[in-house]
Amino acid sequence: MARDRPGPQGRKQLNKNQIFKRDRVRNARTIRAEAVNFDDHKTPGNESKRDLSESGGMLQINDFISSREYEIKQLQLAMHKSKTAGCTRIFQALPRAMRRRTASHNVKRIPKRMRSRALREMMKNDQEITAKGKSNKGKNGLTTSQLYRAKMSVQLLRLVGKSTSMQLALPEEITASGCHLRTKIRRLRKFIKAGNRDRPQCNNKLGSYDNSAVNRLAPLPRGRIKYLKRQKFFTWLPTHIWNAKRSHMMKRWGYHLAWSPTQKCFRATHRIGGNVSTSDGVLCMDTSFYGTMLISGVGLVQAVSALTAKRALRKKYRDSKTWFEGLAYDVKDTSIILGPLELLWVDENLVLLRLHPAIYTTVFSALRNTFHDDVSIQDCRFALGSIVLKGAKSLAALSSILRSSDQCRSFEQLKSVARVADQSVFPQRTMFAFMCVDPRHLGAPRSITDPRIPTADDIINLQTNFPQEEVAHVLIKLCDPHARNESYKNQQTLKELAQRRRELLGNDPKEGLKNFIPYIADKDPAFPLLIIRRPQNDDWLVIMPWFWLMPLWFQLNRVSRVHNVGLRQVQQLRYERRSLYFPDDYPFTAIGYAENSLYKREAASAKWNRKPPSKRVNFEKIINMHRDHVPAYSGEMGDYFSCDWKLLQILRNGIKYLERNGEIKLCSPERTTQFDANGARSINVINDIFELYKDLSKHESGDTPPICLSNNYVNESSQKSAQLSITETPLQVMPISCTYLERGRSRDNARIYQIPEEHLDYWKRLDKGIFRANGKLEHKVQHPLPSVTDLIGFVTSGSYHLGEGRSVANGYIDAEAASKQSSKYVVIRNVGTNVYRLASWSHVSL
C-alpha cells in the first residue's frame, strides 16, 4: 500500500476516516451563538432603558437571560456531546462501574439504550454475541451445575472405593461389586436424603426458615451443599456471593465480610456519605454480622442496668423508645468496658440488643451466667438481618423499593419525608415500622409519585403523631420466632413471580405495565420491617428477617446512585466524623488491644519482612529523633509496628514515680543499674524505666490492656512496690482528634509528643507562619526536638481528611499530661521518621 503523499503545504493528507473523526469532535465542541438586537427587547413604557449600556447602565437580568437562552442551551448540548465524542466503541461510553474487559462481549451486561449499537459493532467486527436466554452447555450437553454434580459423584465413589472406613459406614449393597455406577449414585442420594430428615421443615420452596435459639447460641445457618466446606469456620452473610464478585473479602470474627469494593471509592465515599450538600447518592452495607439478641424476664432491668451502667434506663430510652447507642460494660465489673452497644426497648418486658461480633458471645455468656434464672435470651444472630444506609437519598431509595401490605400510618410518614435529603433535621426518635410486601413484586424500583414537597410540618409530625401502637405491633412480630417463620410462608421463587408478571401482562396490558404485581393477602407473604435512624452515626438502619434481606438487597442495588461499601469505608466515614471506630480506635478494651498488638502488628510486620533489606526501613539506625539519648535503646522507641501502650504505661507511670521522689535524670554515669533484695530493678533514672520495659517485653505478653479511660478508672488503695506500681497500674488516657496545622500526613501508630514550655513560643510562631523574604511560606525549618520523656500518646487512625483539606488523626494521650498543658498543641512524628509536625488537639466524647 502506498504511503500518503504530503499536501501542497507540506502537511500529511488525512484519509476519510480521520477527517470524519476530526469533524465529529469539532462539531461536538462547537457552541452556536445567536446575534441579539437589544433594541427589540424594550418593554413598553421603558423605551429609554437599555439592557446593556456603554456607560455602565443597569443590567436587566430577566431580559438578558431570555435573550441568551439559546446560547445557554447550546453550551449544555456541547458539553453533553463532547463527553462521548472521542468514544469509538459503545463499551468506552459505559458507566464507570460497568467498564470491565471480561464483560465487553456480553450485550446483557450493558444498559438497554446501548444494546442496539453494541450489536451493530459486534456484528461488524465478526465478534461472538452471547445468546440470550440459552443455557451455556458444554460438548457433553450438560450445564455447569450438572457437570459439577456428576464430577463430585464420581470423586465420592472413587473415595469410597479407596477408604475402608467409608466402606464400612455405608450400606452393604452400595459397595457390592455388581452394582453399577448409576445405581450407586441413586442410592447415595437416597442415603443423604435420609440423613437430612432432622432438618427443619420449611413452608416455602426457597428453604427459608427461622434459625434462632433460646438461652443458647443458635446453630450456624445451613447453606448450599456446594459451598458447605467453605463455611465450616466462617459463616457467609446472605449477600456473600453478590459481594464476593464486587469486593475484596476478609475473614474475621467468624464471618466472611466485605472489606472494600474492588473499585476505587475513597472520594466517592467522602462525597456521598459525608456532607449533605455534596451527597447525591446512597452507601449501603450488609451488617447482618452484627449479633442481635432479645432479652426478657423479671431480671431485665437489672441486666440492662449492669450492661449499660444504668444509662439505658433513662426515660427517653425506656418510655419514648429512642435508639440507644453507648458502651457495653462487664456485668460484674463496671470498670471494664467491652465495646459499643446498641439497644431498643420494644416494650417494658422486652429489649432488642445489637452487638459487634467480637464481643457478642462474651456478653451472651456473661448474661446467662449472671442472670440465668431471671432473664430469657433469644439468640437472633442468624434470624434477623440488617442493612445500613448513609447518604442523602437513603429514604428515597428505600421508598422506591418498599410497599406496605396494608394501610399504615408509619409507611405514610415514610412517603411524606422520603425526599428530605438533610438527615440532621429529623428528630432524635425517627422510626418507621410496617408490614412490607415482597420487594420482588416490583419489576424495577419506582419512586413514589408525590408532587408535594416535604415541609417542616411533616418533620414535626414524625414526633407529635408517632404511631406508637402500629410500631409496637410490628416490633412484636419482628421479635417473635413464629411470626418470622410465618412470614416465609409461600415465599415465591423468581420463576413464579415472572410467570405471574407474564400472566398479568397478557390478561390486562394496562395493569401489567404498572410494574407491580398486586398483593394478595391470602396468597402472598408479608414480613415485618424496621427502619430507624441512628443519631450518633447519622445513618439509617434497616432490620428484617434473615431470608428477606436478599430480595431487598437486590432491589436496592438497582436504584441509581446506590453504591455498596465495606468495613474500610465504614472506618473512613467514622474517621471523617472525628468519631472512634471499633475495634481499631478502642485500645482500652480487650478486643481493641488485641486488634492493635496482635492482628495489625502481625500484618505490618509480615509486610516489612517481605521486603529486601535494602528496601525497608532500618528502625534501629534512625538518628536525630530526640534532643537527648538514653543508653537503653537506639533508634525508634517501642514496638515498630503497633501503638506500644505498654511502653507508654511504663514510661508515664515511671516519670510520675520519679517526680514524687525528686529530680528526674536521664541516666546516672557514676553507677550502674541496681536491684533490691527481691531481685526487682530499682527505678532511679529514666534509663531504668526503659530497661524495665525491655525486661517485660521479653517475658510478658498479657491480654489485659495497660491503659484505661480517665473517667472509668477505680483507684486501688493497696500498697505496691515501685516496680509493681509502674507496671500494673493502668495508665489513664483520653481520646483526642488532632488536626495538622502544616503540611504532612499522619499515619497509624504515629507518636504524639507534648511541647515543652521552652519550645512553646517557637511552635506558636510556626502556627502563624514563618515566611521568606519574598513573602512565601517557609517549610524547610529546623524544628527543636522534644525529649524522650515528652511522649504522651499514639495515633490509632491517621489519614488525609478530604473535608478539612489536611491530615487528621485520632488517638489517645495521657490524661494527666493533657490536663497540665497550657495550650492545645502537640507534635506528631510518624514511625520510622525524624520529622515532627505541629497539630492542635480536641477531646473526643464516647
pLDDT tens per residue, range 450-460: 667 888 999 99
Task: Report the distance separating Cα 467 and Cα 433, nearest Å.
Answer: 9
In terms of DSSP H, where are the helices of 125-237? 144-162, 164-169, 181-195
Residue of 263 and 91 predicted with greater confidence: 263
Residue of 356 and 502 predicted with greater confidence: 356
Give pTM, 2 decimals: 0.83
Q: How confident is the model at residue 160 (pLDDT cuts 50, 70, 90)?
A: low
Q: How confident is the model at residue 167 (pLDDT cuts 50, 70, 90)?
A: low
Sheet holding 235-236, edge to edge: 235-236, 255-261, 247-252
The residue ranges of every structural domain in the chain are 16-124, 144-195, 201-576, 590-843
Q: How confident is the model at residue 135 (pLDDT cuts 50, 70, 90)?
A: low
Task: Report the distance separating Cα 7 and Cα 16, nearest Å.
Answer: 15
pLDDT, average across residues 217-224 = 86
Phi then psi dihedrals of residue 840, to 5 deg:
-110, 140
Q: What is the pLDDT of residues 461-520, one digit of tens each?
A: 999 999 999 999 999 999 999 999 999 999 999 999 999 998 888 887 776 667 789 999
**If you average pLDDT over every residue of the chain, what do you get?**
85
What is the reported pLDDT for 17? Answer: 82
**Residue 27 clears pLDDT 90, i.e. is over it:** no
Q: 3-state class of 102 per DSSP?
A: helix
Contact assessment for residue 693 and residue 647, using Cβ atoms and an 8 Å cutoff: yes
What is the reported pLDDT for 14? Answer: 85
- Reported for 58-62, long-range contacts at CB under 8 A and 24+ positions apart, including other chains, are none
Asked if omega into 583 is within 30° of 0 (cis), the reply is yes
Task: Report the distance separating Cα 284 and Cα 389, nearest Å.
Answer: 5
16-29 vs 69-83: helix axis angle to the nearest 10? Answer: 140
- Alpha-carbon Rg for the chain, nearest whole angstrom, is 34
DSSP 8-state symbol, 314: S
Contact assessment for residue 796 and residue 748, using Cβ atoms and an 8 Å cutoff: yes
What is the reported pLDDT for 235? Answer: 94
Lowest mean pLDDT among 78-87, 129-138, 781-790: 129-138
Q: How confident is the model at residue 37 (pLDDT cuts 50, 70, 90)?
A: low
Tell me how crowded residue 72 is: count the other CB atoms within 10 A of its CB.
10
The rounded percent of the chain whose pLDDT value lies above 90 is 57
Work out whether the CA dihedral 474, 479, 485, 486 comes out positive or negative.
negative
What is the reported pLDDT for 130? Answer: 58
What is the reported pLDDT for 190? Answer: 63
Task: Report the distance separating Cα 362 and Cα 339, nearest Å.
Answer: 11
**Residue 653 clears pLDDT 50, i.e. is over it:** yes
Q: How confident is the model at residue 55 (pLDDT cuts 50, 70, 90)?
A: very low
- Please report, for the chain, how many H helices and E strands are present, in that order: 28, 22
Which stretches of 604-745 are assigned E, i.e. beta strand?
707-709, 731-740
**Residue 109 clears pLDDT 50, i.e. is over it:** yes
pLDDT, average across residues 128-155 = 61
Q: Which CATH number fits domain 201-576: 3.30.1360, 3.30.360, 3.40.50, 3.30.565?
A: 3.30.1360
Q: How confident is the model at residue 3 (pLDDT cuts 50, 70, 90)?
A: very low
Task: Report the distance separating Cα 306 and Cα 369, nearest Å.
Answer: 13
Burial status of residue 566 (CB atoms within 10 A of its CB: 0-12, 13-18, 19 or more) = buried
pLDDT, average across residues 830-839 = 95
**Residue 578 clears pLDDT 70, i.e. is over it:** yes
What would the 3-class secondary structure string for 219-281 be?
A: CCCCCCHHHCHHHCCCEECCCHHHHHCCEEEEEECCEEEEEEECCCCHHHHHHHHCCHHHCCC
Q: How confident is the model at residue 592 (pLDDT cuts 50, 70, 90)?
A: very high
Q: How confident is the model at residue 226 (pLDDT cuts 50, 70, 90)?
A: confident
**Residue 605 clears pLDDT 60, i.e. is over it:** yes
